[in-house]
Amino acid sequence: MPRKAPLVIGHRGAPGYRPEHSRSAYELALAMGVDAVEPDVVATRDGVLVVRHENEISGTTDVADRPEFASRRTTKTVDGQALTGWFTEDFTWDELATLRVRERLPELRTSSATFDDTQPMLRLLDVLDIVRAGSVEHGREIGVVLEIKHATYFQGIGLDLAPLIARDLRAAGWADGELPLIIESFESTVLAHLRAAGIAASYVYLIEAKGRPFDLVQAQGRAALSYKATVLPAGLDALAGVVDGISVNKRMLLARGNSIVADAHARGLTVFTWTCRPENAFLAPEYRGVGGRSDHGDYEAEWDAIAHTGVDGVFVDHPDLGVAFFRD
Secondary structure (3-state) at 236: helix
Q: What is the pTM of this model?
A: 0.97
* Positive/negative CA dihedral, 303, 306, 307, 312: negative
Helices (H), 32-160: 93-96, 110-113, 124-138, 151-156
Task: Print pLDDT tens along the chain (328 aa).
Answer: 344 689 999 999 999 999 999 999 999 999 999 999 999 999 999 999 999 999 999 999 999 999 999 999 999 999 999 999 999 999 999 999 999 999 999 999 999 999 999 999 999 999 999 999 999 999 999 999 999 999 999 999 999 999 999 999 999 999 999 999 999 999 999 999 999 999 999 999 999 999 999 999 999 999 999 999 999 999 999 999 999 999 999 999 999 999 999 999 999 999 999 999 999 999 999 999 999 999 999 999 999 999 999 999 999 999 999 999 998 6
As a whole number of angstroms, the distance between CA 57 and CA 59 comes to 5
CA atoms within 13 A on the CB side of 171: 15
Percent helix, strand and coil across the chain, each rounded to 5?
Answer: 40, 20, 40
Q: Would you tell me how many other CB atoms lie within 10 Å of the CB of residue 65? A: 13
> 68 CB contacts (<8 Å, ≥6 apart)?
none
Domains annotated for the chain, with CATH where assigned, are: 7-54+122-326 (3.20.20.190)
Which amino acid does the sequence have at 7? L
